[in-house]
A and B are shown apart, each in its own frame.
Chain A
Amino acid sequence: MISAPDVVAFTKEEEYEEEPYNEPALPEEYSVPLFPFASQGANPWSKLSGAKFSRDFILISEFSEQVGPQPLLTIPNDTKVFGTFDLNYFSLRIMSVDYQASFVGHPPGSAYPKLNFVEDSKVVLGDSKEGAFAYVHHLTLYDLEARGFVRPFCMAYISADQHKIMQQFQELSAEFSKASECLKTGNRKAFAGELEKKLKDLDYTRTVLHTETEIQKKANDKGFYSSQAIEKANELASVEKSIIEHQDLLKQIRSYPHRKSKGSALCSAETEPTRDQADQVATTSNPDESADADLYACRPAYTPKLIKAKSAKCFDKKLKTLEELCDTEYFTQTLAQLSHIEHMFRGDLCYLLTSQIDRALLKQQHITNFLFEDFVEGDDRMVEKQESAPPKPSPGRPPSRSPEECPIPQVFISVGSYKSSVESVPIKMEQELGDEEYKEVEVTELSSFDPQENLDCLDMDMKGSVSSGESIEVLGTEKSTSVLSKSDSQASLTVPLSPQVVRSKAVSHRTISEDSIEVLSTCPSEALIPDDFKASYPSAINEEESYADDSEGAIHFQASISPPELAEAEEGSLENTLSQTDSSCCIGKESDSLRVPLSTPAHTLSDPDGVVSSPPQRYRQKDQGFHVDFAGENASPSRDNSSEGFPAFELDPSRLLASRDVSKTSLDNYSDTTSNMSSIASTSSDRTPSSAHPTGPSSERHKKRAGQNALKFIRQYPFAHPAIYSLLSGRTLVVLGEDEAIVRKLVTALSIFVPNHSRHAKPVKHWVSSPLHITDFQKWKLIGLQRVTSPAGAGTLHTLSRYSRYTSILDLDSKTLRCPLYRGALVPRLADHRTHIKRGSTYYLHVQSVLTQLCSKAFLYTFCHHLHLPAHDRETEELLASRRASFLKLNLGLVNEDTKVVQYLAELLKLHYVQEPPGTGHPTLRFDYVPSFLYKI
């Protein structure tokens, strides 16, 4: 059966640095085609070649003790998606690579069955025959009726694109961990409930038996026991024992370390709200139950029943389904999370990577990015909110998810993964552990990384792959991408941990748990390896050695990056990095010579001090915090000001995307647009109203359209520059016109130039028909105004002329613009009517990049101390003013009116930074007393 195991390359995680290394000389018969479909076309995007399914999907399988590996469900639940792909076959594959042979039951030397709170294992594998690559997440659920009380399950993300799996490993792992944690929590709850029932049964049975025994005793007081009595006594004794065992189990399951470490905070954060929610449900359905009722408290309504002495045979009973194994609330949550994952990783890898890099870079500018960016909303607010009240999603629906909430993109491009698809790593390191703790664990608990142990691990892995069959390649595991876990922020996450905690955690850990060690050490490593497999064993070691060599080489490689190049990559423009990354991730299999330069940005980016500055795990949590906070803010009547300030956006799907005020947009809108875009009817997709719509595909569409219209405006109107200058400098632009559609279109297009006051809402009002008021100019920076020809409209025009000093007026009907003069250099660059850019989305990106540059100037200007405050007491205000002016002119290269733009942005930055809950409160209406001019075409 096993002819050519595609397996095996092991490395220590420290050495796994994505450095290029020369492929170890594998014996010919073990080598596998690296990119199985390369022959079918030069186009690396034709990833579906060879694959039997139309797009990525998630598969949940179980290793049933009765029938073996079997697929349970797929997400999306649509046969079109996986097509002719053999789910049964693939379930067998993925279930057979569970390295974590979990051990539950009576451990040697223990009187009672012992539950292990095992960690999930995360494996990447590929099936070259099927053209499928999968991230596989194994987990075990507890089932009282199952053998050893455990049921192994796995969730797999299956894609035809190997690189997607490899490079998104960390994100996949984080997301699946959340799903798994949710599922497991629900399972523990259900398991505890089951135990409670069982205990009640047993108790009842004991009482019955006891009475019977007493009756018998009374019946014959002759001093000897009948065989029947002895039997009863035995039965009673076994019931007693059973009770003690079950009580012990219940104690164990209840004592599940909920917050095992801070690193796993994401899991508890994920479960926390659901727990609240579940509690809520419980309290509503069951008012008697106190609010802080134990999570595992069972319903008192249960009537115990008698348990027969002989339990049913294993195969007689029907095993519980996955739904039955898990608390309903949690199960739906899990499904929601999974379909969120499916949404999140939809699309091409290039796209995913680009948007991740984009987001990562934007997060770096968390002080300025509220000004023009759409989708990082609330993120850094959340950082502050994080410590406050625990996030609480609105009951009745799972916390909303969205692609934008995906963990912080780990900007790295693993060169190693291009080189070799055949590598494998000892799994089961506690991912959350920081390096220090990790080492400590190593030292105190076991020396899993001395060579001998390594071999043991290797054995385990090989054992796993033995059964997995020929075409399975174990490509990598959790630790294979461990660069990420070395980011300093992650270390800082674990800092507060006391060593004891770490140790106890380590004990509960699968591989490093004592039980497992026993297993490992009692089994001679050689014995585990099938004979015909031993041949490959040395080669694996060779490979490992070569790895070590390579990592040395890698250091040279890194050091040899020439400083200018490095600097360029670091400070380089967004596009630059993007394009490089793009190409690098598209190219995949190329010659070494090509690969090395491409990897340069990757290295700089993956530098812990560089882009990746916060741990991926935190973002989900923050997002929840954000949503909650948001809702609260809007709901709070005491803040009528704020809600008044940014009134609800009209529920207009076309404007939806411009709106940041996501929480106010009804779910209907979402489902509308979702159903438009989603070609499949996923049962659970409806349950995940994603607040992330602005980043979804339709948001792209929106941007594209806005960009296209803006481009049209620039080409059509020669006075586009002063109009855009008005927007950038915070002077309200009123777009006056009779036709609502035209006005709205232009307002949407121009809104890409409007700096935001806060993350809440864009100060854009698409359509007004009533006369404007002074407060409107304070609130809105871009207004679409209806021109009414009837006398009633006179008032509108009158106020417009009365407040003319606060506004620029773009009259669409007569094609005139009335606004101050603009003579700067910035806007011509932003909006060149002779631009060669043709596509809306390209233009949008162009605008974004120019604006980002502008933001950084504003940032510099705002945060230079001596520009705003005297360096010493004797400095006069005039001196400061001249210093400011020369800084703007000489250092930032701003001419004429451009300074006003930066000054305006600086004021917004100041306000935003100083405000206590950032983004609340109103910016004042700032204006200048400058003359306006009338522009005509």
Chain B
Amino acid sequence: MLPMHLSEINLKTDRTNSATKRREEATLKKKSPLQTIGEEQTQNPYTELLVLKAHHDIVRFLVQLDEYRFASAGDDGIVVVWNAQTGEKLLELNGHTQKITAIITFPSLEVCEEKNQLILTASADRTVIVWDCDTGRQVQKVSCFQSTVKCLIVLQRLDIWLSGGNDLCVWNRKLDLLCKTSHLSDTGISALIEIPKNCVVAAVGKELIIFRLVTPTGESLEWDILEIKRLLDHQDNILSLVNINDLSFVTGSHVGEMIIWNILDWTVQARECNFWDPSAQLDTQQEIKLCQKPNDISIHHFTWDEENVFAAVGRGLYVYNLQMKRVIACQKTAHDSSVLHIAKLPNRQLISCSEDGSVRIWELREKQQLAAEPVPTGFFNMWGFGRVNKQASQPVKKQQENATPCSLELIGDLIGHSSSVEMFLYFEDHGLVTCSADHLIILWKNGERESGLRSLKLFQKLEENGDLHLAV
């Protein structure tokens, strides 16, 4: 027996790979700084998975319904409600004839008798359907849209919801059209958020348009929606738009501009657009070239916590500190291809999923020896000064300017999907749900915890059967 470390077999098999373009790219870039973690992942808690199969096409959306349920939707037009604990398929909602373009939960009012969980789905068949997720009933259906609704937003305070397509429509809970804007653009609204003072921000192409809702008052009973302002600061199409706190919201564009806006007066608070700056790249010439492809710097998704905004920029991940107004950590090639969705976990962990079919778990760590040892890559510095110095001798000056005080460290990856992972959903108690273009949903679970839960169930059942005899 000759145990040998096994990367040869990987290499060999990887060479022959031709499954997807992305993967080929990955193979070519074997020597790129894509961080790999190998098979030993002691900090990765997800040691159990359950494959959920119900969709026949790309699954694009996951939405959490309550502590144990979530719904999935995608290009096959069906919505499936799942139990996140058992992976059991609870309901299948059929009603749309084309792919689903937006899904949102519609929280019920406190005063309302009906406690049933409602969800709204918009589809390319130009309809919006309200579903009851407890019964699977189709509550109501609106089909008077001129264009596909691409985003939905619920303003719970006013108990209304807005749909954004080529125009913006305002609806009440009973699905009466309250008011609508004129035709905005043919590309339509790509994102919508609510901001204070009854305003909403819509991303339309390169523009951000602020609308104000006029609510019925004593004078007029009519609802109205007025365009207040257009913000033209972005150079390219805005791909992502999120609220980050009470003071600001953030937008990201196709060419890697990130702008943080004041939520009240809609002025630019900060702007970061050097994600593709060659100076920020430590890599080879080839790498820079790749990165300069616009697709590689488009900002697909944001997530945030109290201090930081996390941005999925191209294949990389960036952490932008709101107070320092600078990028404090980055992982320029976090994945083999575009990062599609990221989420911050409470324990300083960040999860990202990508078109390359993998999900990665990162941890934001502060570089300990930063003051003493300003080396470029925080966690390779343990391998001796000589090597690092040799390598870092040239870019060391740039590094001192750009040196990030923190690092994103890969602590685990989840390999299961065979195609792009579109989105994921994190459940505190049940683990992680990922959905993918391979039509599957995978439920990733903490094996140890599941084992404990099964034991608990087992002894509960034993007790029910009266077979449990505890020795004193």
Contacts and interface: CB of A to CB of B under 8 A. Distances in A.
Nearest to A816: B9
A221 B278 CA distance: 137
Interface in A759-812: 773-775, 778, 791, 793-795, 797-805, 809
Contacts of B87: 924
A719 B4 CA distance: 13
A794 B458 CA distance: 44
B55 interface: no
Interface string A691-729: 000000000000000000000000000110000000000
B6 A933 contact: yes
Contacts of A932: 6, 39
Interface string B42-65: 101001111101000000000000
A907 B451 contact: yes
Contacts of A927: 47-49, 447
Nearest to B50: A924
Contacts of A934: 2-6, 8-9
A794 B6 CA distance: 19
A20 to B, nearest CB: 39
A818 interface: yes
Interface in B389-433: 412, 415-418
A159 B444 CA distance: 61
Contacts of A907: 451, 454
Interface in B415-472: 415-418, 440, 442, 445, 447, 450-452, 454-459, 461-462, 468, 470
A502 interface: no
Contacts of B450: 924
Interface stretch (A40-48, A118-126, A861-869): A861-869
B10 interface: yes
A204 interface: no
Q: Which of B10, B13, B18, B47 has the most CB of A within 10 A?
A: B13
Given A774-B442, A924-B48, A924-B50, A929 B458 contact: no
A644 B89 CA distance: 15
Interface string A866-896: 0011000000010000000000000000000
Contact of A922 (B1, B9, B50, B459): B50
B418 A774 contact: yes
A103 to B, nearest CB: 50
Given A925-B50, A926-B447, A798 B9 contact: no
Contacts of B418: 773-774, 799, 802
A778 B19 CA distance: 22
B206 interface: no
Interface in B1-36: 1-6, 8-10, 13-14, 16-19, 23
Contacts of B51: 774-775, 778, 925
A804 to B, nearest CB: 7
A31 to B, nearest CB: 54
Contact of A805 (B415, B417, B457): B415
Nearest to B449: A877
A928 interface: yes
Interface residues of A, number: 51
A865 B471 CA distance: 10
A931 B50 contact: no
A233 B186 CA distance: 108
A797 B13 contact: yes
Contacts of A877: 452
B389 to A, nearest CB: 31
Name the residue in A804, A816, A925 with the highest tally of chain B Cβ atoms < 10 Å from its Cβ.
A925
Contact of B19 (A795, A816, A903): A795
Contacts of B468: 865
Nearest to B454: A910
A774 B434 CA distance: 13
Contacts of A799: 19, 418
B41 interface: yes
A914 interface: yes
B454 A931 contact: no
A926 B19 CA distance: 26
A240 to B, nearest CB: 63
Interface residues of B, number: 51
B16 A805 contact: no
A77 B402 CA distance: 95
A930 interface: yes
Given A775-B51, A907-B454, A925-B48, A805 B9 contact: no
A533 interface: no
B40 interface: yes
A935 interface: yes
B386 interface: no
Contacts of B451: 903, 907, 910
Given A774-B417, A797-B13, A907-B451, A913 B458 contact: yes
B44 A798 contact: no
B48 A931 contact: no
A936 interface: yes
B45 to A, nearest CB: 10
A821 interface: yes
Contact of A930 (B8, B39, B454): B39
A719 B5 CA distance: 15
B38 interface: yes
A868 B40 contact: no
A608 B462 CA distance: 24
A585 interface: no
Interface in A808-841: 809, 816, 818, 821
A791 B15 CA distance: 11
B413 to A, nearest CB: 9
Nearest to A720: B1
B455 to A, nearest CB: 3
B19 A805 contact: no
A718 B1 CA distance: 6
A930 B47 CA distance: 11
B49 A925 contact: yes
B40 A931 contact: yes
B455 A931 contact: no
Contact of A931 (B9, B39, B412): B39
Nearest to A644: B53
Contacts of B6: 818, 931-934
Chain A CB within 10 A, most for which of B5, B50, B416, B462: B416
Interface string A518-546: 00000000000000000000000000000
A800 B13 contact: yes
Interface in B154-186: none
Contacts of B50: 778, 922, 924-925
A868 B468 CA distance: 14
A569 interface: no
Contacts of A793: 16
Nearest to B462: A863
B330 to A, nearest CB: 26
A719 B3 CA distance: 10
B445 A924 contact: yes
B4 A933 contact: yes
Nearest to A774: B416
B91 to A, nearest CB: 14
Nearest to B417: A774
A911 B454 CA distance: 7
27 contacts: A774-B49, A774-B51, A775-B53, A778-B49, A778-B50, A794-B16, A794-B19, A795-B18, A798-B13, A798-B14, A801-B9, A801-B13, A818-B6, A862-B458, A868-B459, A910-B451, A910-B457, A914-B454, A922-B50, A924-B87, A924-B445, A927-B47, A929-B39, A929-B412, A931-B6, A931-B38, A934-B3
Given A798-B17, A801-B9, A922-B50, 20 more contacts: A774-B418, A774-B442, A794-B16, A794-B19, A795-B17, A795-B19, A798-B19, A801-B10, A801-B14, A818-B9, A865-B459, A865-B470, A913-B461, A927-B49, A927-B447, A931-B39, A932-B39, A934-B8, A934-B9, A936-B4
Q: Lowest 4 A-B CB distances belong to which pairs?
A: A868-B455, A801-B13, A933-B3, A929-B41
